[in-house]
Amino acid sequence: MSEVSAEQRQSEPVDETRVIQYLRDHPDVLMKNPGIFSALVIPHQTGAAVSLVERQLKLLREENQALKSKIEELVAIARENEELNQRFHRLALELMNTDQLHDVLAMVQDQVQTFFYTDFVCFRFLPEISVESKILDGLYLDHQSGIVNSVKPWIEARKPVCGRQDEKVNHELFGPDISIGSSAMIPLYHTRDLGLLCLGSISPDRFGLSMGTIFLQQLGELVSNRLKNLLQAA
């Protein structure tokens, strides 16, 4: 059998798949042969050419920038959560020092609207929650409208409900003249079901289905605990 000459071997087509696989199996081959770098170029979209090292540096810069953006996002979330914690603390202290039901209702509405940067905040109580005074007049759910049957499962589930609601539900909870894009319904309960603390926004994206509800649930527990005695005493 005749030997294949060097000239013949050079003229044979190169199997790129085998070359790529070899480089993957031997990632240090370029480091062991640094002279190859000067000959390797990768076409740029503009038609220019950059060396492999420059291309790798560009990718590293892009990865670093993406990582930096993610870190900044996490830091911003941490600061927002810290701010919420401080506001919860202040609200808890003020609720402890407030003995009048109407003051508690007004304070919660005002501060929660600031806490969560929302447009509307209101209380809605179940019809069976009765007090001797008229403080809750206008805050009851209308039993005849069917809204009680709609929201009772939310209260019984003991978890905030976020997202877009039916227009009829929004009208019953927030009023017929208010346009609600998204909302958060926070159950109020203790030894019995009390009602809802309703947060509404004109933005359809403010209270999304996927948003975290830990702070909302803690808010509901805090307000419910303060209301239980005041409702019995009122």
What does the domain layout of the chain look like in residue ranges? 17-54, 100-233
Tokens encoding 178: 């208010």
Average model confidence (pLDDT) for the chain? 84
Instruction: Report how far apart, in Å, the C-alpha atoms of 70 and of each of 64, 67, 115, 211 are.
Output: 10, 5, 25, 18
pLDDT tens for residues 49-72?
Answer: 556 777 778 888 888 888 888 898
pLDDT tens for residues 75-116?
Answer: 887 887 888 788 888 888 888 888 899 999 999 999 999 888
pTM of the model: 0.67
pLDDT tens for residues 8-32?
Answer: 455 556 678 888 888 888 877 777 7
Q: What is the mean pLDDT of residues 155-172?
A: 94
- Which residue blocks in the chain are alpha helix, DSSP H? 6-11, 16-25, 29-32, 52-96, 101-115, 147-157, 167-174, 214-233
The sign of the dihedral angle between the CA atoms of 133, 135, 141, 145 is positive
Q: Into which CATH architecture does domain 100-233 fall? A: 2-Layer Sandwich (3.30)
Judge contact between 213 and 160, C-beta under 8 A: yes
- More confident call, 133 vs 157: 157
Instruction: Report how far apart, in Å, the C-alpha atoms of 136 and of each of 39, 89, 165, 223 are.
Output: 82, 26, 24, 16
